[in-house]
Amino acid sequence: ALNGLGFAYFYGKHLPQNKSKAFSYFSRAADIGADGDSLSNAAHCLANGEGTAKDLSRAVVLYEKAARSFGQFNAVATLGKFHYEGRIPGRRRSPETATEYLSAAALSGQWGGRVREGFDAFLKGDKTVAFLIYLE
């Protein structure tokens, strides 16, 4: 429920858009370890400075927890990208580690990404596209 409230505030769906409130709800859900999505959403806010100060170190910790504890697709893929680009604070660029994360994301199949695409379409108000993706 906390993650859902965070999404509503983040995207301004049925509530006024307020990314600070969104981050607060994502963080509360992440603190109790509710699910991988709330951890990944809080990490996204921290990594991009949306609704809170940018803090890449904290973002990486949350992405790692979401990836390891829940196999959360976006967290796994983002960590792969960060390792490839050398964006992990205090660590050198690691194409090898990036490959491990990106391979894990790829092995989860197309559905992790497709489900996310459908959800993103729904959040943008394109319910027809979301419906068609979910029918696959």
> Average of pLDDT values for 130-134?
68
Q: What is the pLDDT of residues 78-130, one digit of tens each?
A: 999 999 999 999 999 998 998 888 888 777 765 566 666 777 777 778 778 76
> Average of pLDDT values for 36-48?
96
d(CA 81, CA 123): 24
d(CA 18, CA 23): 9
Q: pTM score, two decimals?
A: 0.78
Q: How confident is the model at residue 40 (pLDDT cuts 50, 70, 90)?
A: very high
Q: Choose between 6 and 13: higher pLDDT.
A: 6
pLDDT score for 122: 76
pLDDT at 133 over 70: no
CATH of the domain at 36: 1.25.40.10
d(CA 6, CA 20): 9
Q: In angstroms, what CA-CA distances link 49 with 3, 58, 59?
A: 18, 12, 10
* Residue 32 DSSP label: T
Q: Are 9 and 18 in contact (CB under 8 A)?
A: yes
- Report the number of distinct structural domains present in the chain: 1
> How many Cβ atoms sit within 10 Å of the Cβ of residue 134?
14
pLDDT score for 36: 92
Residue 29 carries which side chain, given as an amino acid letter?
Answer: A
Q: What domain range is 77 assigned to?
A: 2-135
pLDDT score for 43: 98
* Residue 136 DSSP label: -
